[in-house]
C-alpha cells in the first residue's frame, strides 16, 4: 500500500469520528473490544475514560497508522504483563477494504498497541490444503512465557521465543483431547450456526494456581496441567460460561435443552444451542476439583455457544458475588443479545448445610440470587458478553443498545453499581459496534506484606499461608500464582507450593534463603525469606543402648554396641560441629582428616578419638 493510499484511507475513516487526541497510555478507564459489523469491516478497539468523559475510537488501527488491524469478529482479549492479546474468529472481514494486515491472533504491546515483533497471525491452524481449520475463541495466559488460544478446533499453545522476542506456535496440533474431529477446513458456510464450527468449540479458559480450566462444548470442563499441557480430568456436562470468584472457586454456567425442543438434540448438546436454558451454577473447588451444583431460584445464565461470545457471567473482586444478565424464556425465545435483567448472586449467602446436593435439579440456592436492575424500563437492552466488573471498585461495566431494535445502532457504555443503580453512562458515536467485552488496564503490581523469616525447631514440615500475605489492587487476589523461584541451599530445606501455601520441610541444620515469586496477571514480584533449621532433623530415638563402643579403625571412626541406628555428631578440638549423620551398628564414619582429635557424641555420651 502506498503512502498516498494510506493517507486517503486514514482520512476517510477518521472523517466518521469526532476529533480525538490519542492518549499516550491507557491506564484510567476500560478498553472496549468490538465485534463490529460482519460483512463490512474488521473488529475494533475503543477506550472509554469515564472520569474524563472521553472515548477514543479505533485506537489499535490509529496506533499503527492503519497498517495493522484486528481480525474479523473479535470476541475475547486478555491483558497480561506487557501484552494485550486479542483473538478473532477469522483473519479478515470480507467487507474490509484496503491492505491492512489483520489476523486471528493479535499480540500487542499494551502501551503502544503495536504488534509484538511487527507480526499479526492470520492463521492458527491449517489443513493439508493450507486452509484454516481453527477459528479463534478465548485466550488464557498460563505464565509470562506461554498462553493458550481456544478455538473451534481445540486449544493451541503459544510460547515465547527468547531469541526472536515473539510468541510462536509450540505445535501445529492442538492439545491432545481438545481437537474437533468434525472440522476439515473445507467448510463452505456456517452462517446458520449449524456447521462444524459450532460444535466441539473451546471457549472460556481460566488459569488457577494448579490448573487451567477450559470449557469444551461437547465434553464439559477440561482440567489441564499447565506444566505439561495435558488434560488431567474432564468434568462432564453442558456448560458455556465460567469465572473465578473472590474466594478462588470456579463458577460455571450449567445449561440444559429447553423441554419440547427435541429437534435440537441431534448432537450432544443441540445443533446451535438456541434452546439452552441456564438454570444452574456449578462450583468447582480449584484444588480438590470437587463440584457442587445449585439451582437458581430466580434468573439464569444463558448459553453463549451460538456465534460464540464470552458470555455475561462476571465475578467481582471486591465481594464474593457473581453478576449476569438474563431474559425469562417464558417471555419468548432466548436471545443472546436481548437481555434486560441484571442479577446478583451472593455466594456467601448460600447455606450449603440446607441444600441436598444429591438432587441438583432441586438444590435451590434460596435467597442467593436477586434481580437488581431491569434495563427495559429505560428502553435499554444488554448485548452479548460486554458485561464485566471493574476489579478496583466492583462496579459493573456494560454495553447496552437503545430501543428494542438493535439495528438502530444506538449504544451506551454504562456503569452500574452492585446494588443496581445506574451511576454513569456515555453514548459513543452511532455505528455497528456490537461490543464484545470490556478489558480493564492493569496498573498495579502485587504487594507482599507480613511474610517473615522462619525458624524450624523440630522435624515436622511447616505450612505458611500465603493468601493473606499478598494482594493486588486491580486484580483478583485469589488468581495470584505462587511459585518457588530459588532455594539458595537445597540441602537445608525443601520448599514447595501446595494449594497456594508455602510448605517447608527441614532436611538438615543450617540457614538458607528461599525466594517465592508472586505472579498477578503477568506482573511478578519476588520475596526472599530466611529459613533457619535448628532441629536435629536426622536424629533417631535412642533405644537399646547402654554404652556404645567408639574407636578408630584405619583412619575412620567405628561405632558398635548401639543396637538401632543412632544420630552421631562429630566435633573438632575447638568444639565446632564438622559432621552430623545417622549410623548403623558397626558402620564407619569416613572422610575425616587424620592426625586430629575429635569428640564424638551419641545421645548423652561423649568420646574422644584421635585418628
Domain-located, residue 194: no
Beta strands in 390-434 (DSSP E): 396-402, 411-416, 422-426
- 482 and 595 both lie in a single domain: no
For residues 265 and 259, give the distance between their C-alpha atoms in angstroms, rounded to a whole number: 11
- Lowest-confidence pick of 182-196, 390-404, 413-427: 182-196
- 460 and 355 both lie in a single domain: no
- Decide which of 377, 405, 435 is a domain's last residue: 377
Residue 394 predicted with pLDDT over 70: yes
- 604 and 496 both lie in a single domain: no
- 522 and 591 both lie in a single domain: no
- DSSP codes joined into one string, 94-129: TT--S--B--SEEEEETTT-PEEEEEEES-S-B-TT
Q: Which CATH number goes with the domain that contains 520?
A: 2.60.40.10
For residues 149 and 521, give the distance between their C-alpha atoms in angstroms, rounded to a whole number: 16
For residues 165 and 227, give the distance between their C-alpha atoms in angstroms, rounded to a whole number: 21
CB-count exposure of residue 262 (10 Å: 0-12, 13-18, 19+): exposed
Domain-located, residue 389: no
Domain-located, residue 269: yes
- 324 and 455 both lie in a single domain: no
Sheet holding 276-284, edge to edge: 239-244, 250-257, 276-284, 291-295
Find, among 431, 432, 397, the residue nearest to 414 by Cα: 397
431-486 residue pLDDT tens: 999 999 999 999 999 999 999 999 999 888 999 999 999 999 999 999 999 999 99
- Lowest-confidence pick of 235-244, 268-277, 280-289, 350-359: 268-277
| The C-alpha cell that represents 392 in the structure block | 478496583
Query: What is this structure's pTM?
Result: 0.84
Residue 190: per-residue pLDDT: 52
Residue 594 predicted with pLDDT over 90: no
Determine the number of helices (DSSP H) and then strands (DSSP E) in the chain.
2, 44
Domain-located, residue 574: yes
Q: What is the CA radius of gyration of the chain?
A: 30
- 491 and 566 both lie in a single domain: no
**3-state DSSP call for residue 159?**
strand
Domain-located, residue 301: yes
Q: How many CB atoms lie within 10 A of CB 503?
A: 15
Domain-located, residue 302: yes
- 517 and 461 both lie in a single domain: yes
Residue 509 predicted with pLDDT over 80: yes
In total, how many domains does the chain have?
Answer: 3
Residue 20: per-residue pLDDT: 59
Q: Which CATH number goes with the domain that contains 584?
A: 2.60.40
- 250 and 311 both lie in a single domain: yes
Residue 3 predicted with pLDDT over 60: no
- Decide which of 321, 353, 377 is a domain's last residue: 377
Domain-located, residue 27: no
Length of the chain: 611
- Decide which of 377, 392, 411 is a domain's last residue: 377
72-120 residue pLDDT tens: 999 999 999 999 999 999 999 999 988 899 999 999 999 999 999 877 8
CB-count exposure of residue 489 (10 Å: 0-12, 13-18, 19+): middle
For residues 76 and 63, give the distance between their C-alpha atoms in angstroms, rounded to a whole number: 20
- 486 and 569 both lie in a single domain: no
- 279 and 358 both lie in a single domain: yes
255-266 residue pLDDT tens: 865 554 444 444
Residue 599: give the domain boundaries: 549-610
| The C-alpha cell that represents 369 in the structure block | 440470587
- 471 and 577 both lie in a single domain: no
- 508 and 605 both lie in a single domain: no
Domain-located, residue 415: no
Amino acid at each position: 500500500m502506498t503512502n498516498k493510499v494510506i493517507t486517503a484511507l486514514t482520512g476517510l475513516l477518521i472523517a466518521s469520528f469526532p476529533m480525538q487526541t490519542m492518549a499516550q497510555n491507557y491506564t484510567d478507564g476500560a478498553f472496549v473490544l468490538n465485534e463490529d459489523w460482519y460483512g463490512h469491516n474488521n473488529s475494533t478497539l475503543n477506550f472509554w475514560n469515564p472520569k474524563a468523559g472521553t472515548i477514543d475510537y479505533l485506537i489499535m488501527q490509529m496506533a499503527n497508522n492503519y497498517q495493522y488491524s484486528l481480525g474479523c469478529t473479535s470476541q475475547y482479549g486478555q491483558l497480561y504483563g506487557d501484552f494485550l492479546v486479542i483473538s478473532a474468529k477469522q483473519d479478515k472481514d470480507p467487507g474490509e477494504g484496503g491492505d491492512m494486515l489483520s489476523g486471528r491472533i493479535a499480540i500487542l504491546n499494551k502501551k503502544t498497541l503495536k504488534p509484538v515483533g511487527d507480526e499479526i497471525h492470520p492463521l492458527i491452524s491449517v489443513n493439508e490444503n493450507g486452509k484454516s481449520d481453527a477459528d479463534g475463541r478465548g485466550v488464557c495466559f498460563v505464565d509470562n512465557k506461554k498462553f493458550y488460544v481456544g478455538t473451534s478446533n481445540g486449544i493451541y499453545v503459544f510460547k515465547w521465543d527468547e531469541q526472536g522476542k515473539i510468541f510462536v506456535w509450540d505445535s501445529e496440533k492442538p492439545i491432545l483431547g481438545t481437537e474437533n474431529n468434525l472440522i476439515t477446513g473445507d467448510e463452505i458456510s456456517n452462517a446458520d450456526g449449524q456447521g462444524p464450527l459450532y460444535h466441539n468449540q473451546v471457549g472460556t479458559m481460566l488459569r488457577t494456581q494448579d490448573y487451567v480450566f477450559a470449557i469444551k462444548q461437547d465434553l464439559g470442563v477440561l482440567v489441564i496441567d499447565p506444566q505439561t499441557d495435558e488434560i488431567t480430568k474432564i468434568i462432564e456436562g453442558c456448560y458455556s460460561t465460567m469465572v473465578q470468584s473472590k474466594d478462588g472457586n470456579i463458577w460455571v454456567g450449567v445449561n440444559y435443552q429447553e423441554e419440547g425442543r427435541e429437534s435440537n438434540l441431534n448432537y450432544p448438546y443441540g445443533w446451535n444451542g438456541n434452546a439452552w436454558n441456564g438454570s444452574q451454577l456449578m462450583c468447582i473447588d480449584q484444588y480438590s476439583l470437587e463440584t457442587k451444583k445449585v439451582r437458581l431460584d430466580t434468573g439464569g445464565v444463558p448459553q453463549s455457544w451460538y456465534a460464540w461470545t464470552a458470555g455475561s457471567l462476571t465475578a467481582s473482586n471486591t465481594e464474593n458475588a457473581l453478576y449476569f444478565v438474563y431474559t425469562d424464556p417464558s417471555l419468548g425465545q432466548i436471545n443472546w443479545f436481548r437481555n434486560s435483567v441484571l442479577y446478583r448472586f451472593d455466594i456467601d449467602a448460600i447455606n450449603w448445610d440446607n441444600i441436598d446436593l444429591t438432587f441438583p435439579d432441586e438444590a435451590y440456592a434460596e435467597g442467593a440470587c436477586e434481580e437488581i436492575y431491569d434495563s427495559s424500563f429505560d428502553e435499554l437492552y444488554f448485548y452479548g458478553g460486554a458485561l464485566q466488573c471493574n476489579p478496583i471498585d466492583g462496579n459493573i461495566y456494560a454495553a447496552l443498545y437503545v430501543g428494542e431494535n438493535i439495528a438502530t445502532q444506538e449504544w451506551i457504555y454504562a456503569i452500574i453499581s452492585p446494588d443496581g443503580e445506574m451511576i454513569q453512562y456515555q453514548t459513543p458515536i452511532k455505528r455497528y459496534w456490537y461490543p464484545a467485552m470490556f478489558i480493564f488496564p492493569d496498573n498495579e503490581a502485587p504487594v507482599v506484606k507480613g511474610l517473615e523469616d522462619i525458624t524450624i525447631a523440630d522435624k515436622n514440615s511447616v505450612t505458611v499461608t500465603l493468601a493473606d500475605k499478598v494482594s493486588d489492587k486491580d486484580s483478583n487476589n485469589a488468581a495470584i500464582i505462587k511459585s518457588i523461584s530459588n532455594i539458595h541451599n537445597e540441602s537445608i530445606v525443601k520448599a514447595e507450593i501446595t494449594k497456594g501455601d508455602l510448605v517447608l520441610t527441614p532436611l538438615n541444620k543450617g540457614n538458607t534463603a528461599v525466594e517465592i515469586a508472586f505472579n498477578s496477571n503477568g506482573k511478578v514480584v519476588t520475596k526472599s525469606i530466611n529459613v533457619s533449621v535448628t532441629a536435629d532433623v536426622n536424629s533417631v530415638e535412642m533405644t537399646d543402648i547402654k554404652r556404645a563402643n567408639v574407636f578408630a579403625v584405619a583412619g575412620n571412626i567405628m561405632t558398635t554396641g548401639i543396637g538401632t541406628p543412632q544420630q552421631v555428631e562429630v566435633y573438632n578440638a575447638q568444639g565446632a560441629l564438622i559432621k552430623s549423620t545417622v549410623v548403623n551398628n558397626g558402620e564407619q564414619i569416613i572422610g575425616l582428616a587424620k592426625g586430629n582429635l575429635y569428640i564424638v557424641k551419641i545421645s548423652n555420651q561423649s568420646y574422644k578419638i584421635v585418628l
